Amino acid sequence: MTARTALRTAATVAVATALVSLSSTPAFAATHPDDGGEPGAGLSVIETLLIFVGIPAAMFIAVVILVNASSRARGPRYRPGLGWWAAPIWFNGPDDADVAVRTATATTGGGGASARW
């Protein structure tokens, strides 16, 4: 190690030590307060309730609404065993179904199948 390098090292250590010890003195603390070190005005009861009860409750309700919205918009859906509520619907059926059914004669000579579930 040359004398030059030793000098540079000593200078660096001295400056660093001086900075640390200077900034930790009571006089320095008095003129340079830490961030958040000074307490602000306290929260009122209403503000406290609003922040710590109102906001979580609002978020909870928002999630519930989002979850329910899609099924609510779709209306009641068919569930096996819970009965049937809707009006009959006939795809590709006769134009005037009520009259057609009343005046029709039941099909004979046809086939098919029945099933239950």
- Radius of gyration of the chain measured on its C-alpha atoms: 41
> Residue 88 CB, nearest distance to other proteins (Å)?
3
> Residue 58 CB, nearest distance to other proteins (Å)?
31
* Closer residue to other proteins, CB minimum distance, 23 or 71: 71
* Closer residue to other proteins, CB minimum distance, 18 or 99: 99
Is residue 76 a contact partner of residue 85, using CB atoms and an 8 Å limit?
yes
> Residue 61 CB, nearest distance to other proteins (Å)?
27
* Closer residue to other proteins, CB minimum distance, 56 or 93: 93
Instruction: Output the six-digit token pair for 63.
Output: 């999630």
